[in-house]
Amino acid sequence: MTAKLELKAIKKKLRGRQVLDGVDVDVNQGRSLVIIGGSGQGKSVTLKCALGLMRPDSGQVLVDGADVTKMPEEIRARVMRKFGMLFQGGALFDSLSVWENIAFRLINADHVNRTEARERAIEAMRKVRLAPEFADVRPIELSGGMQKRAGLARAIIAKPDILFFDEPTTGLDPITADAINDLIVEMVKELGCAAVSITHDMPSARKIADEIAMLHNGKIVWRGPTAMLDTSGNAMVDQFVAGRADGPIQAVV
């Protein structure tokens, strides 16, 4: 079985620093992979390379076995249509209403008419449990948790094959965070898609992951099923999971 998404030997240098130094990771259809790792270890950069928002210096990004980094622009854009992404800060368009945000790609890329797009946006809002009365307000008027829900609705509206989540629970209270975790699990199951999330929130990782990979110094240093997390036998994983300052990983403050 070819993986839905596979990153092969991805290298990326930024401002003279080798941020990614050969990242290898893959995820199959219907599976949820969570990448954990410390701040500044290149988790977001990994995601940006996978999404085509950043071009890796070398290595391959394979979607259904085809390397998107070598595709001509139009074909790559077509492959990218299978992607959905929830941004860390929500990244909602503040000049548009909530429903126009959620229906953005339907209106602007898929040429769905506005009446139908609005109906589908409100249906997506119902799925993420965002009350329809918020459809016409500006994103700025929503709370952080509600913005996450709106971002999630926007990411799933076109039924993507691969969903990406950048720190979906950061900045939320534990109860709201858990509700978002539940929603992510539910959406991934419903869509049957592959999911790649990055987080340093361990309860969240345990909840949404089938598999966990740890990124450190530009490489994947450990990878295994979620159940193995506490018995990984890897000192760096143990330190990260326990949240200890002393160990093989030195905190950079």
Partner 1 sequence: MINPFAPIGRGVLSTLAEIGRFSAFVGRALAASVTPPLFFGQLLRQVMQIGYFSLPVVGVTAVFIGAALALNIYVGGARFNAEQFVPNIVVLGITRELGPVLAGLMLAGRVSAGIAAEIGTMRVTEQIDAMTTLSTDPFKYLVAPRVLAATLTLPVLVLVADIIGVMGGYLVAVNSLDFNGAAYLRNTFDFMEPQDVVLGLVKAAVFGFIIATVGCYQGYRSNGGALGVGRAATNAVVVAIVLILMVNYLITAFFVE
Give yes or no for residue 109 binding partner 1 (CB under 8 A). Answer: yes
Question: Which of the choices Mg ion, partner 1, ligand ATP, none does residue 80 contact, using the CB cut-off of 5 to 8 A by kind?
Answer: partner 1
Give yes or no for residue 170 binding Mg ion (CB under 5 A). Answer: no
Using alpha carbons only, what angle is made at residue 70 by residues 64 and 75, rounded to the nearest 5 degrees? 65
Which residues bind to ligand ATP, rule: CB under 6 A? 14-15, 19, 37, 39-45, 200
CB of 43 to Mg ion, least distance (A): 5
CA distance 227 to 17: 34
CA distance 33 to 224: 10
Give yes or no for residue 92 binding partner 1 (CB under 8 A). Answer: yes
Number of residues interacting with Mg ion: please give it, by CB under 5 A. Answer: 1
Residues paired with residue 169 on neighbouring β-strands, in sequence order = none
Question: Which of the choices partner 1, Mg ion, ligand ATP, none does residue 40 contact, using the CB cut-off of 5 to 8 A by kind?
Answer: ligand ATP
Q: List, in order, residues 6 or more apart from 3 with CB less than 8 Å away.
A: 26, 27, 28, 62, 65
Of 140 and 245, CB closest to partner 1: 140
Q: Are 222 and 59 in contact (CB under 8 A)?
A: no
Question: Which of the choices ligand ATP, partner 1, Mg ion, none does residue 83 contact, using the CB cut-off of 5 to 8 A by kind?
Answer: partner 1
CB of 157 to partner 1, least distance (A): 9
Residue 195 burial (CB count, 10 A): 27
Question: Which of the choices ligand ATP, Mg ion, partner 1, none does residue 218 contact, using the CB cut-off of 5 to 8 A by kind?
Answer: none
Q: Are 127 and 160 in contact (CB under 8 A)?
A: no
Specify the stretch interacting with partner 1 by CB under 8 A; choose among 12-20, 47-55, 119-127, 197-205. 47-55
CB of 77 to partner 1, least distance (A): 7
Question: Which of the choices ligand ATP, Mg ion, partner 1, none does residue 77 contact, using the CB cut-off of 5 to 8 A by kind?
Answer: partner 1
> What are the CA-CA distances from residue 6 to residues 9, 37, 163, 186, 196 (Å)?
10, 19, 14, 23, 11
Among 7, 23, 104, 146, contact with partner 1 (rule: CB under 8 A)? 104
- Kindly state the tokens that stand for 112: 């769905």
CA distance 5 to 225: 17
Q: Are 237 and 229 in contact (CB under 8 A)?
A: yes
Give yes or no for residue 89 binding partner 1 (CB under 8 A). Answer: yes
What is the strand order of the sheet 32-36 is part of? 83-86, 162-166, 194-199, 32-36, 211-216, 219-225
Question: Which of the choices Mg ion, partner 1, ligand ATP, none does residue 235 contact, using the CB cut-off of 5 to 8 A by kind?
Answer: none
Which residues of this chain interact with partner 1, rule CB under 8 A?
48, 51-53, 77, 80-81, 83-85, 87-89, 91-94, 104-105, 108-110, 154
